[in-house]
Amino acid sequence: MSKNLRSVLFLVLMAICLAASVCFAQPLTSQELIERAKEYDGKTISYLGEAIGDVMHRGDFAWINVNDGLNAIGIWVKKDLAEKITLTGNYKFIGDTILIEGQFNRSCLEHGGDLDIHANSLTIIKNGSKVEEKIDIYKIIAGLAFMAIVLFLGLLRFLRKAFTKR
């Protein structure tokens, strides 16, 4: 293999590696977006988190809130993309984990100057699920014991007053 052919193959391989790293960029965290809002303003970014609260439909669009574990950011998304979301997080459910790609706005003029993301795409990464409630038997026993002690002390006080007045 000639030296020129090796150089060309090496350059092509490097270009493929660089292109792959650009295509699979890591999503930004809410903390990064808030702290470096001026730098990301108007740029297309990726943001990953749990869909929480309600999907609020507004004509052909919808608002969704996405929490990455640090903060929640409002996402303005087309109605058909928002309909992909099956579960939103609350006390009883863990919401769908979604990947948002769209334009970051540190002060969106269209939406009253709020920080938001206008989504171009929405991908469901993981479906949501119901939160399993676990009943702690020791807390129930402790509560019943506390209630019994309070009732016993109340009874003692009542009896003490009843017998001291005679």
106/156 same-domain check: no
Is 143 in the same domain as 114? no
Looking at residue 116, which CATH number applies to its domain?
Answer: 2.40.50.140
Number of domains in the chain: 2
List, for residues 55-84, the tens digit of each pLDDT value.
999 999 999 999 999 999 999 999 999 999
Q: Is residue 19 part of a domain?
A: no
Domain of residue 114 covers 26-130
CA-based torsion, 27, 28, 29, 33: positive or negative? negative
Q: Is residue 21 part of a domain?
A: no
Could you read off the pLDDT of 109-164 as tens digits, one per residue? 999 999 999 999 999 999 999 998 888 999 999 999 999 999 999 999 888 888 88
Residue 102 shares a structural domain with residue 60:
yes
Q: Is the pLDDT of residue 25 over 90?
A: no
Residue 52 sits in the same domain as residue 106: yes
Give a yes or no: residue 162 inside a domain. yes
Same domain assignment for residues 46 and 111: yes
* Residue from 162, 69, 65, 152 nearest 116 by CA: 65
Q: Which of 106, 23, 24, 102 is nearest to 64 (CA)?
A: 102
Q: For 114, list phi and psi in degrees, rounded to 5.
A: -80, 155
pTM of the predicted structure, to 2 decimals: 0.69
Distance CA 117, CA 104 (A): 4
Nearest to 117 by CA among 99, 144, 141: 99
Classify residue 152: in a domain, yes or no: yes
**Would you state the structure tokens that stand for residue 148, as one six-digit string?**
């019994």
Residue among 62, 61, 63, 75 nearest 30 (CA): 75
